[in-house]
Amino acid sequence: MALTVADDEVLEGIKVLWDATSSLGGEYGPLQSGRLASPQEETGYVMAKSDKGKDAIFDIPIARGDPYQDFRMVTFTGFGPRARMATLGRALLAQFAWLPRDGRTLNFPAPTSLVAIRSLSDPGLMQDEKKKSGKDVWQCVWEIDVQTDRILP
């Protein structure tokens, strides 16, 4: 799956906040993105893609330099023991749900700015079909909608 520039910017903003947060990066290590070949026993992984239901909102007429709103669906997936995945779900909600708030936001290259993060579901726990090293592996999966203001190049 090819990433767009907007996908990459959103992922980078999320990774920076994840890595700087002790309950996420400090606890689970650096956030991975891109193609996940096989889940490790304990890892955090994130993927962004354009939300095709609402790709972009333009005010007509469209011209170079016009502002527009962009939407990306971002999926967090963590792998590990059930208790740690439940903790991960709570940490994701605490750090990312309904940003910007409390002076916290995601940082993007100018002139892109974060409008809102909306939860599309509660973080869900499910047992992975495969067992790693004889241990049960659980997944924590959470989907969010990231809305940004952008400028048409």
Quote the mean pLDDT of the chain.
Answer: 82
pTM: 0.83
The answer to whether 113 and 148 are in contact (CB under 8 A) is yes
3-state class (DSSP) for residue 127: strand
Mean local confidence (pLDDT), 13-40: 81
Could you tell me the two tokens for 92? Answer: 């994701």
- Look at residue 55 in the predicted model and tell me its pLDDT: 57
Q: How far is CA 7 from CA 22, 49, 114, 145, in A?
A: 25, 6, 13, 12
CA atoms within 13 A on the CB side of 21: 20
Mean local confidence (pLDDT), 69-96: 90
The residue with greater pLDDT, 86 or 50, is: 86
CA distance 10 to 12: 5
The residue with greater pLDDT, 49 or 81, is: 81
Lowest mean pLDDT among 34-43, 62-71, 75-84: 34-43
For residue 38, the one-letter residue type is: S
Mean local confidence (pLDDT), 14-27: 91
pLDDT at 114 over 90: yes
- Look at residue 152 in the predicted model and tell me its pLDDT: 78
> What percent of the chain lies above the pLDDT cut of 70?
78
